[in-house]
Chains A and B, each alone.
Chain A
Amino acid sequence: MNQMDSTNTPQSINKTTGRLSRPVVASRTRQNNFAQRTFFIFTLLPVLLILVVAIALFVRSWPILNAYPLYDLLFGKVWKPTNGQFGFLPFIAGTFWVTAVGILLAVPACLLVSIYLAEYAHARTRSIAKPILDLLAAIPPVVYGVWGLLAIVPFVDKVLAPLSDRWLDSVSIFSVNQPTGFGILAAGIVLAVMIAPLIIAVMYEIFSTVPNDLRHASLAVGATRLQTIRNIVLPQVAPGILAAIVLGASRALGETIAVLMVVGNIPQMPTSIFDSAYPLPALIANNYGEMMSIPLYDAALLSAALVLLVVILIFNILSMLVIQRMLRRKWV
Chain B
Amino acid sequence: MGLMKRHWQRRHFVEAFMISMMRVSLFIVSAALGLILWIVVVRGLPAISWDMVTKIPEGGYYMGKGGGILNAILGSLYLASGGTFLAMIFSVPIAMYLKTYLGDSKWGHYVRLSLDVLWGIPSIVYGAFGFTLMIALGIRSSLLAGIIILALIELPIMTRAMDEVIRRMPVDLEHAALALGSTKFEVALRVVTRQMLPGITTAILLGFGRGIGDAASVLFTAGYTDRIPTSLMRPTASLPLAVFFQLGSPYPEVQQRGYAAALILTIIVLAVSLGSRWLSARLNKYTIK
| Residues of A participating in the B interface, judged by any CB pair closer than 8 Å | 28-29, 31-32, 35-36, 38-40, 42-43, 45-47, 49-50, 53, 56-57, 59-60, 108-110, 112-113, 115-117, 120, 129, 131-136, 138-147, 149-151, 193, 196, 200, 224-227, 247, 250-251, 253-257, 261, 281, 284-285, 288, 291, 301-302, 305, 308-309, 312-313, 315-317, 320-321, 324
6 A-B pairs besides A31-B183, A50-B121 with CB distance below 8 A are A39-B93, A113-B26, A140-B215, A151-B39, A302-B128, A312-B122
Which residues of chain B are within 8 angstroms of A36 by Cβ–Cβ distance? 97, 101, 184-185
* A136-B123 contact, Cβ under 8 Å, with A39-B96, A150-B43: no
Does the CB pair A308–B124 fall under 8 Å? yes
Q: How close is A54's CB to chain B, nearest CB, in angstroms? A: 9
Does the CB pair A40–B113 fall under 8 Å? no
Is B216 an interface position by the 8 A CB rule? Answer: yes
Q: Which of B39, B96, B122 is A150 in contact with, Cβ under 8 Å?
A: B39
Per the bound structure, the CA–CA distance linking A1 and B192 in Å amounts to: 53
Does the CB pair B36–A143 fall under 8 Å? yes
Does the CB pair A42–B262 fall under 8 Å? no
Which residues of chain A are within 8 angstroms of B61 by Cβ–Cβ distance? none
6 A-B pairs with C-beta separation under 8 A: A32-B184, A39-B94, A39-B96, A133-B29, A140-B212, A288-B220
Q: Which of A28, A140, A146, A317 is B214 in contact with, Cβ under 8 Å?
A: A140
Is B209 an interface position by the 8 A CB rule? Answer: yes
Which residues of chain B are within 8 angstroms of A53 by Cβ–Cβ distance? 121, 125-126, 129
- Stretch with Cβ within 8 A of A (4 or more), from B14-22, B47-55, B193-201: B14-22
Which residues of chain B are within 8 angstroms of A224 by Cβ–Cβ distance? 11-12, 15
Is B103 an interface position by the 8 A CB rule? Answer: no
* A143-B262 contact, Cβ under 8 Å, with A49-B118, A116-B26: yes
Q: Which of A43, A110, A291 is B111 in contact with, Cβ under 8 Å?
A: A43
Which residues of chain A are within 8 angstroms of B33 by Cβ–Cβ distance? 132, 135-136, 139
Is B133 an interface position by the 8 A CB rule? Answer: yes
**B224-271 with Cβ < 8 A to chain A:** 240, 243-244, 247, 258-259, 262, 265-266, 269-270
B interface SS class: helix
* Chain A: CB-nearest residue to B36: A147
Per the bound structure, the CA–CA distance linking A308 and B19 in Å amounts to: 39
Q: Which of B128, B188, B258 is A301 in contact with, Cβ under 8 Å?
A: B128
Does the CB pair A302–B120 fall under 8 Å? no
Q: How close is B65's CB to chain A, nearest CB, in angstroms? A: 23
Does the CB pair A309–B125 fall under 8 Å? yes
Which residues of chain A are within 8 angstroms of B135 by Cβ–Cβ distance? 60
Q: Which of B94, B184, B240 is A257 in contact with, Cβ under 8 Å?
A: B240
Q: Which of B11, B184, B262 has the most CB of A within 10 A?
A: B262
Does the CB pair A257–B97 fall under 8 Å? no
* A116-B29 contact, Cβ under 8 Å, with A36-B185, A39-B97, A141-B213: no
* Chain B: CB-nearest residue to A116: B22
Q: How close is B259's CB to chain A, nearest CB, in angstroms? A: 7
Which residues of chain B are within 8 angstroms of A200 by Cβ–Cβ distance? 29
Which residues of chain B are within 8 angstroms of A120 by Cβ–Cβ distance? 19, 22
Per the bound structure, the CA–CA distance linking A144 and B240 in Å amounts to: 11
Is B161 an interface position by the 8 A CB rule? Answer: no
Q: Which of A40, A253, A281, A313 is B117 in contact with, Cβ under 8 Å?
A: A313
Q: How close is A128's CB to chain B, nearest CB, in angstroms? A: 9
Does the CB pair A50–B213 fall under 8 Å? no
* Chain A: CB-nearest residue to B259: A146
Is B132 an interface position by the 8 A CB rule? Answer: yes
Does the CB pair A46–B215 fall under 8 Å? no
Per the bound structure, the CA–CA distance linking A39 and B117 in Å amounts to: 20
Per the bound structure, the CA–CA distance linking A53 and B220 in Å amounts to: 15
* Chain A: CB-nearest residue to B277: A131
Does the CB pair A254–B125 fall under 8 Å? yes
Does the CB pair A146–B39 fall under 8 Å? yes
